[in-house]
Amino acid sequence: METQEETWQNMDGKFFRQPITQLVEEAIIRELANGHKLRVCVGSDSHVYGEAINYATAVVFIREGKGAFTFIRKERAIQTISIKERMLNEVNKSVEIAYAIGSVLEMYNVEMEVHADINTDPEFKSNVALKDAMGYIMGMGYIFKAKPYAFASSNCADMMV
Q: What is the pLDDT along the chain (161 residues), one digit of tens a residue?
A: 334 457 999 999 999 999 999 999 999 999 999 999 999 999 999 999 999 999 999 999 999 999 999 999 999 999 999 999 999 999 999 999 999 999 999 999 999 999 999 999 999 999 999 999 999 999 999 999 999 999 999 999 888 98
Which residues, 6+ apart, have CB-to-CB distance to 100 below 8 Å?
Answer: 1, 2, 3, 20, 21
State the pLDDT at residue 3: 40
111-86-93 Cα angle (round to 5): 35
pLDDT score of 6: 76
Question: pTM value?
Answer: 0.93
HSE at residue 1, side-chain half, CA atoms within 13 A, is 8
- Give the span between the Cα atoms of 161 and 156, in whole angstroms: 9
